[in-house]
Structure 1
Amino acid sequence: MTNAQLVESAGLFGKDYSTGKQGYNLAAVVLLGKDEVIRSLCPTYKTDALVRQHDTNRHDDRLVATTNLIDAYAQIAGFCRKHLPDRFLMEGDFALSPRDTIVRELVVNCLIHREFTSPFPAKVIIDNEGIRTENASRASFEGPLEPDTFSPLPKNPLIASFFVHIGLAEELGSGTRELFKNSRLYTGRDPELEEGLIFRAFVPTVPAAETVHSPLGQHTTRADEPDEAVALALKLAESAEGVRTADLANTGISRRTALRIISELVEQGKLAPQGNGRSRVYRRCPR
């Protein structure tokens, strides 16, 4: 097949039935286009990669990717691998790199499942706690994602299909399961994924048994769960209204902590999600 036939078979060249004209679509432009063409069609498109480990107010290192998605993936993935430790791990007779899988899944998700018309800039941030991403999304619901209960929906199917065919992605939903699996291998901890108009993902890089040193000199560990917040979540879940992530966040704890508490209570079988979108709440499971 020629290059033109390959592009057409990928759904990147087609006909606009409203005008009758044929040409490349937006997916083709952001996947393979030149920077100036992408900038003319998506002027707010960029991915900002930052390292904030010493200078937490600004950054220690930075990469701004404004090129097409294929080149942007290579740039951002290389940037993340440079700043994250690659811990040695054996599975049978083979050496594995959970770090590389985590980087691939986070960066690919941030690039292909985003809302390209939104002015919200996509971010990849590496700090002293882990690596996190933020990108605009077209969400079917708001709240934390659990690997065994969520129903994946394609945001940009042509772009996702292209990444599948070049080996950087797999079937829809498998990336979330891979992220949970490799996060547990990497640190013994689960990632935190929050769906919404802004999709947020966080993968910890500090092992569960290690102490985290905060900028204020405080020392916390994975075992130091906010017991009061857990008790409050369970109490609210027994009410007729149930509990939402926002209910815990309104009490003064961070939204990330609230997400983690609810996700862990769901995993432990103490809470069950009900409803979708903004109406999703969590109720206490029968004892």
Structure 2
Amino acid sequence: MNIAIEDILDLKTLVESDQVEFKLAGGKDGKGALPKDFWSSYSAMANGRGGWVILGVLEKHGEFTPVGVSEPEKLKTDLFNQLNDRDKVSSNVISNQDVQHVMLQDKPVLAVHVPPASRKQKPVHLKKTPFGNTYLRIHEGDRRCDDETVKRMLAEQLYDSRDNEVLSDHYSFADDISIDSLKTYRNLLAAHSPQHPYLEYELFELFKKIGGWRKDRETGKQGITIAGILMFGNWEAITAAAPNYFVDYQERPEAKTELRWIDRVCPDGTWSGNLFDFYRKVYQKLTAELKVPFTLEQGQRKADTPVHTALREALVNCIVHADFTERVSILVVKRPDMFGFRNPGLMRIPLEEVIAGGTSDCRNRLLHQMFLLIGLGERAGSGMPKIFSGWKSVNWRTPKLWEKMPPAQTLLELSTASLIPNDIRKLLHQQFGESFNRLDDFEQLIVTTAAVEGWINHERACQLTTRHSREVTLALPRLEAKGFLVSNGEQKQKTYTLPGVTLPTPDEVFASISTRNIASSLETSTYSKPSSTHNGFNSTYNEESSKHSAPPSNRDNHGRLIALEHFDLPFIDRVEELSSSLREELMAFAQAPRKKKRLRKEQMTSAIANVCQGHYVSAAALAVILDRDQQSIRQQYLKAMVDNEQLGLAFPQYKNHPRQGYTSLVQED
């Protein structure tokens, strides 16, 4: 979505997103030139969800100083000349209206909007080859893609459907297809469409008709398709065709991001493991406790509700849009407070278009058609609107659809919490009166979230809405100007609270702990993670559920800090305070990095996750335990692990504070 940049305020609002870069464009001779790092940013933004590059503005510590660009029209001409030079860059996604020449504090500035490239244009790369010259925007920086990621982009570009590939003749219908699954499918087809002509065929012919077996008319090759194996195959055949394939359903007993589950469906040798059987098993579990009101439709009782429809569509979407070459599983989670769906791969079209509906670009079209034949799934991009409308019909909070990488994955979270709980609405009316009612729905949702969760930031607000992030960026300072919110911090670290609510800094928290004894609060304490839907359904951690006897200090028997009003887990701030038994245990987890100075990245992240299991650990303490430099641990591992939801933060509103604490959120099977 392109917008007009008119003043410094527009830059200040844009900067709360990581999709903006400020660059000087003075050139060697001071007459103006595109900086060399412009092109890596261009590639990264085009391959992602777009962004902005502001040329001629110096940004430092949240302050913007326009320095201007010499001869802006000449610079603009040079930009388009290079954009259309295929020796420079593979594709031009920028049009004339994407480049704005504006005056900021009497200085000429060029604001370049980089729209997201289409699937057919990606990978947008520099020079002539995509390998080594393709970038993605990860962790607020432009990162060079590895060859595997580039190959995946090329496959997305070349193949409209990723599941119609014909496998080798080493796969056979008799050996590799679950006949029981296919028979059940035919029964469902008969129930949904009793007069369907496919019902006349034997199982193998039916399998061919629905796309499980195909002949490539260009090469003459024929055999089982990827869709046929994934939908109806046996486990050994599935994993041979798609080595990264895994499906997982977990029912968790509490409204918290944690490891424990009370029911699970995953390939364990007791069932086929294919997508069709996974759908049937999981949908029954998802809807088991849903109440169905007595309503008649054409003289017969209606068997489900808009919520059933939404869950059915969410599960089908999760399957048919999955990229089974990615190294992440399909994961479905059911908790008392929400339903969560994760599929590998990003959406092929912008999320705003997915939510609006009417546009569709399904990654696995044969799988989609197989579901459609038995009355499951929606055509023409209407699935996501049905999910949103189903949730709205029961006044539950707006579904959250977002993407993460690496690895590339799409997540949908369906909260069962009321849009605005009555007690919170009453509190807000007491504080703001009728002015709260005059806010639009989205503004009310932002203020409500700040009240419920204590604070809100740009990232969290984006998760609450289907609107473009630019609208979120403008809404937050607007609510601040109206007196509904108060801001804290700068730029990407900026958070908002209700007036009168203060978030103590880590320094203030540790100062308060050191000046008082809180032993009385520990006598019957059990440490558990509070309910917080914004933590994400796919993040889990090992809970430390044992009760601690209360020592006469602010530390537990292992020497970890305890402050229940600040930390939901014990906090390791200094290794020398720890009991010898816990210290030895943590050192054992860190044995590999302590013995070797050079480790593979996955070895170090595994060690960090193990050390941080069940408590928060400061970077300083981690450095001692791992025998590594504190700053290098932060830069090389901790930030990426937080972004990938492998680690959680003791102070999420102060992400980069030097006294931050980290706890493991790693999912363990």
TM over 0.5: yes
For 1:153, what is the secondary structure of its paired residue? coil
Deviation at 1:189, TM superposition (A): 3.6
Distance 1:86 1:43, change over 3 A: farther
**Match among 68, 80, 83 for residue 286 of structure 2:** 80
In structure 2, C-alpha distance between the alignment counterparts of 1:137 and 1:80, rounded to whole Å = 23
CA offsets, 1:210-269, max 9 Å, x none? 4699xxxxx99x996444999xxxxxxxxxxxxxxxxxxxx973845322246399999x
Instruction: Quote how far apart the aligned CAs of 1:53 are.
Output: 4.0
CA distance in 2: counterparts of 1:161 and 1:228, whole angstroms: 41
More strand by share: 1
Cα 1:41–1:201 change in 2 (3 A) is same
User: Which amino acid counterpart does residue 373 of structure 2 have in structure 1?
Assistant: H
How far, CA to CA, are the matches of 1:40 and 1:165 in structure 2? 27
Residue 180 of structure 1 corresponds to: 388
1:65 has 2:266 as partner: yes
Query: Helix, strand or coil: the match of 2:394?
Result: helix
Residue matched to 1:198: 409
Q: Please provide the CA RMSD for this pair.
A: 3.9
Q: Residues 144 and 192 of structure 1 are in contact (CA less than 8 Å); yes or no, is this contact kept in structure 2?
A: no
Q: Is the 8 A contact 2:249 2:264 kept in 1?
A: yes
Please list the CA deviations of residues 105-143 of structure 1 after superposition, one character each: whole Å capped at 9, or x if unmatched. Answer: 111111121011111111112234311111112533554
| One-letter code aligned to 1:46 | F
Change in CA separation of 1:63 and 1:6 when aligned onto 2, cut-off 3 Å: same
The CA distance in 1 between the partners of 2:471 and 2:296, in whole Å, is 25
Asked if 1 retains the 8 angstrom alpha-carbon contact of 2:321 and 2:347, the reply is no
Cα 1:37–1:182 change in 2 (3 A) is same
Q: Distance in 2 between matches of 1:172 and 1:43?
A: 31
**In structure 2, what residue type is equivalent to 1:257?**
A
Matched AA of 1:78: Q
Question: Displacement, 1:85?
Answer: 3.7
Residue matched to 2:542: none
Instruction: Map Cα deviations across residues 195-219 of structure 1 (whole Å, 9 max, x no partner).
Output: 5631111212123354699xxxxx9
Q: Could you tell me how far apart the structure 2 residues matched to 1:149 and 1:103 are?
A: 17
The 8 Å contact of residues 144 and 194 in structure 1, kept in 2 or not, is answered as: no
Q: 1:12–1:27: 8 Å Cα contact kept in structure 2? A: yes
Q: How many residues align?
A: 243
2:457 maps to 1:253: yes
Q: Which amino acid aligns with 1:33?
A: G
Quote the offset at 1:34 in angstroms.
Answer: 1.2
Partner of 2:240: 40
1:31 matched residue in structure 2: 231
* Residues 136-183 of structure 1, C-alpha deviations (whole Å, 9 max, x = no match): 125335545564366221111111011101111231312112111211
Does 1:161 find its partner at 2:369?
yes
Which structure 2 residues correspond to residues 104-115 of structure 1 after superposition, within 5 A? 104-115=312-323
Residues 130, 205 of structure 1: 8 Å contact kept: yes
Distance, in Å, in 2 between the alignment partners of 1:208 and 1:112 is 29
TM score, norm. by length of structure 1: 0.69
C-alpha distance in structure 2 between counterparts of 1:208 and 1:73, whole Å: 29
SS of match in other structure, 1:107: helix
Q: Distance in 2 between matches of 1:108 and 1:262?
A: 21
Cα separation, 1, equivalents of 2:327 and 2:462: 27
Alpha-carbon distance change, 256 to 50 in structure 1, aligned in 2, over 3 angstroms: farther
Q: CA deviation at 1:9?
A: 2.1
Q: Is the 2:213–2:225 Cα contact (8 Å) retained in structure 1?
A: yes
Native 8 Å contact 1:146 1:263 kept in 2: no
Report the Cα distance in structure 1 between the residues aligned to 2:412 and 2:245, rounded to whole angstroms. Answer: 19
The alpha carbon displacement at 1:54 in A equals: 2.3
Write the distance in 1 (CA, Å) between the matches of 2:265 and 2:293: 30
What's 2:582 paired with? none
Alignment of 1:1-287 (within 5 A): 1-15=201-215, 20-54=220-254, 56=256, 57-66=258-267, 67-82=273-288, 84-86=289-291, 88=293, 95=302, 96-141=304-349, 143-144=351-352, 147-148=355-356, 151-194=359-402, 197-210=408-421, 225-227=445-447, 253=457, 255-261=459-465, 263=467
Fraction of identical pairs, as percent? 21
Structure 2 distance, partners of 1:169, 1:8, is 21
Specify every segment of 5 or more residues in structure 2 that has no aligned partner in the other structure, as ranges. 1-200, 268-272, 429-440, 476-669
Classify 1:148/1:12 alpha carbon distance in 2 versus 1 (closer, same or farther; 3 Å): same
| Deviation at residue 18 of structure 1 after TM alignment | 8.2
TM-score, length basis structure 2: 0.32
For residues 164 and 91 of structure 1, what CA distance do their matches in structure 2 show?
25
Corresponding letter in the other structure for 2:467: S
- In the aligned structure 2, how far is the partner of 1:130 from the partner of 1:228? 18
1:109 partner SS: helix
C-alpha distance in structure 2 between counterparts of 1:267 and 1:81, whole Å: 35
Q: Aligned AA for 1:72? A: F
Deviation at 1:91, TM superposition (A): 8.2
Aligned counterparts of 1:90 and 1:257: Cα–Cα separation in 2: 37
Distance in 2 separating the partners of 1:145 and 1:134: 19
Contact 2:342–2:409 under 8 Å retained in 1: yes
More divergent stretch after superposition (108-117 vs 258-267): 258-267
